[in-house]
Chains A and B, each alone.
Chain A
Amino acid sequence: MTLLIIEQLLNGLQYGVMLFLLAAGLTLIFGIMGVINLAHGSLYMVGAFAGTWVATETGSFWIGVPAALAAAMLTGFAVEAVVVRRLYARDHLDQVLATFSLILIFNQLIVLIFGRAPIYTALPPAFSESVELIPGLFYPPYRLLIIAVGLLVALGLWGLINFTRIGMLVRAGSTNREMVRALGVDIRLLYTFVFGLGAMLAGLAGFMTGPILAVQVGMGEQILLATFVVVVIGGVGSIKGAFVAGIGLGVIDTCLRAFLPGLLRNLMPASEADALGLGISSMGIYLLMAVVLLIRPKGLFAVEG
């Protein structure tokens, strides 16, 4: 039982850092630019497809990493320059409509280039066999790699935001956009940078999940909803919030799915326990969001401003 709990905690951690990678970009874009970017999932998909394609062509998973980052970042720059830049002054409905249309456009472009069939993604050879972490606990090393990368990125972002000039501007921008502009900072350049950074993180997440999930059209929409929940719970604009909420939600979601039906089975007949357990665990993160919003309407780590 202890082993099962450790394994599920690791699983939750892995899912959590994935959510964090996506939510970090989304929360910055939302917090600093005030743009609801539904197409964030498309950038995740672009990273997955570009990275996987390069990895397959070259035969090396590791060459796929910079390709995924570059493709997602360049796509991010293009999206910002062509579409999102025109939306800063508009209200949220316009932003939702425009970025939703981007989802459709990106999905269709991917179909035109790669076709509809999901594409095969190889695991890096060194990470393909599961390892025995402690006696009796077998765990896929690739998931450990994802956890490590996610934590490194979190550390890097923390350093970037807290100890660099750009980070200072980002922090200032998420607290008071107008003041930053009034102080003569080239806000347009800052926006482009933030958007590109967010896109790059989404692309990294997309490429890293490729070997675990299916790289296919529409893969971004599957994870987008959970990402928005993370952003809302963590507090819009807060990287720290995205980190805590991402890991928290990942662990809670995984543990609910894994343990709730079993616990309920002690209280009621198996079939009812399964149905109820499944119901509650699929609602879990949304219930949590509702509770957090009741207590702290601006999220756990709301940016003051």
Chain B
Amino acid sequence: MKRKTPWSLTGLATGALMALGGPALAEEPVKIGMITTLSGAVGYIGEDIRDAFQLAMDQNGGKLGGVPVELLVEDDGFKPGNGRQIAEKFMYDEDVKILTGIIFSNIAGATVPDVVDNGAIYISPNAAPSNMAGKECHENYFAVAWQNDALHEATGIAAKKMGYKNAFALAPNYQAGKDAIAGFKKGFGGEIVGELYTQLGQTDYSAEMAQIRAANPEVVFQFHPGGMGIAFLRQYQQAGLLGQIPMVLSEPATDAVILKAVGESAVGINGTAHWNWDFDNEASKTFVAAWKEKYGDRPITYYASQSYDTALLIASALKETGGVDDIDALRAALRKADFDSVRGPFEFGPNQHPVQNWYLVDIEMGEAGVPVTVTKELLVEGFGDSYSALCQM
């Protein structure tokens, strides 16, 4: 008899706790864990991801899909190790079931497998490396923005469609740079008259400018994220190449913040986009208007649109499930992608990465003396990625 006492006590205590906790749980908001980069020069991206998600929540009185949600935000400091630590803190200490927010592929690579293996759902608003779209895909992992390669493939398709026969390609010498050039070549299919890898963090591109001039290609493709890209574009203009040799850019090189810093040196360049501020659909107009009302002149980037879409996607799933207690139901609801994306048509492919349209954009001088991207034409419809065939769920 004595032995039984602890058990019955535990049972009693559990019963009492459940009685107390049961009704309270229903009122508890669903916690959403956001790990994003808020430090350093790239911190503006994290700020956009955070603020756009919050914007979607604020529009619905702090709820998503009628369910109260609480957004927990932590800065990964641009370090993969931090991303993983924060994810563990969210999952073990806060019992978070939905995580999102990571911008960079290297941080996602270190963090996401841990999250999905623990039974939580990870929805990426930006990073989508190829391995996680193919062999290492996971039923708990969703990518809302794109698959990384599609970005540059679309630019290659754009160059081809504009009738260029040969191209000169440049990117920094690291994985994302090599992926960019590979993706561009795949979409372009034409002759590559020059292929140059620059140093990561390089500031002076005069040597490259001279080589571009000497090779005299029909079009230049370059992918230099952040400050490197600003320097490249300015030096391209100063070298007198802008207007002589056309350039096509992938989306990360033409976000609104970068264009503002580059100024007139970007005007006349072509880009590609899966979302642009001038899209003519209700969801996009609502988003742009809400952003302007809350943030005024602050440039509205496609990063913000992706995070806003992520919030809408979560809202659509929560509306159906009412909470995160049943992960299987939540996953099934997310898979449907039953929401009005700011991009217009949107659905998930078999590897839970987007199948969506890409558009050709021109960079023109805007009214405020700041260059803006202007949507020109539909480039490719229902474009997914080539890795989904490798994905076995």
Which A residues lie at the B interface, using CB under 8 A? 4, 7-8, 11, 14-15, 107, 111, 115-120, 122-123, 128-130, 138-140, 142-143, 209, 211-219, 222-223, 254-255, 257-258, 261, 274, 278, 282
Contacts and interface: CB of A to CB of B under 8 A. Distances in A.
Contacts of A258: 207, 210-211
Contacts of A116: 40-44, 47
Contact of A8 (B173, B197, B207): B207
Interface of B: 40-44, 47, 173, 195-197, 199, 201, 203-204, 206-208, 210-211, 213-214, 226-228, 230-231, 234-235, 238-240, 257-258, 260-263, 299
A76 B110 CA distance: 40
B210 A11 contact: yes
A140 B214 contact: no
A65 B257 CA distance: 25
Given A7-B210, A115-B44, A140-B238, A222 B261 contact: no
Nearest to A142: B238
Given A14-B206, A130-B240, A138-B240, A122 B263 contact: yes
Contacts of A213: 203-204, 227, 230-231, 234
Nearest to B235: A212
- The 10 A-B pairs at the shortest CB distance, nearest first, are namely A130-B240, A214-B227, A11-B206, A258-B207, A214-B230, A140-B238, A118-B261, A116-B43, A116-B44, A257-B207
Contacts of B239: 130, 138-140
B195 to A, nearest CB: 7
A218 B263 CA distance: 21
B234 A212 contact: yes
7 contacts: A8-B206, A120-B262, A129-B240, A216-B261, A218-B40, A254-B207, A257-B208
B261 A117 contact: yes
B109 to A, nearest CB: 23
A178 to B, nearest CB: 40
- Consensus secondary structure, chain B interface: helix
A217 B38 CA distance: 13
A214 B204 contact: no
B216 to A, nearest CB: 12
Contacts of A254: 204, 206-207
Given A120-B261, A278-B197, A282-B199, A143 B211 contact: no
A223 B261 contact: no
A115 B234 CA distance: 21
A213 B235 CA distance: 8
B41 A217 contact: yes
A254 B207 CA distance: 6
Given A116-B44, A120-B260, A120-B261, A11 B207 contact: yes
Indicate the member of B195, B211, B234 with the most A CB atoms within 10 Å.
Answer: B234
Contacts of A140: 235, 238-240
A120 B204 CA distance: 17
Contacts of A118: 41, 226-227, 230, 257-258, 261
Given A130-B239, A211-B234, A117 B260 contact: yes
Contacts of A128: 238
A274 B206 contact: no
Contacts of A130: 238-240
B201 A222 contact: yes
Given A119-B261, A214-B230, A15 B240 contact: no
Contacts of A222: 201, 203
Nearest to A141: B238
Contact of B227 (A107, A216, A282): A216
B206 A143 contact: yes
B369 to A, nearest CB: 9
Given A117-B261, A258-B211, A123 B206 contact: no
A54 to B, nearest CB: 17
Indicate the member of A15, A120, A128 with the most B CB atoms within 10 Å.
Answer: A120
Contacts of B207: 8, 11, 254-255, 257-258
Nearest to B43: A116
Given A116-B43, A213-B230, A274 B204 contact: no
Contacts of B214: 4
Nearest to A211: B234
A120 B263 contact: yes
A282 B199 CA distance: 7
Contacts of B211: 258
A219 B231 CA distance: 11
Contacts of B203: 209, 213, 222-223
A77 to B, nearest CB: 27
A209 B230 CA distance: 12
A274 B199 contact: no
A215 B360 CA distance: 29
Contacts of A143: 206, 238
Contacts of B206: 7-8, 11, 14-15, 143, 254
A8 B203 CA distance: 15
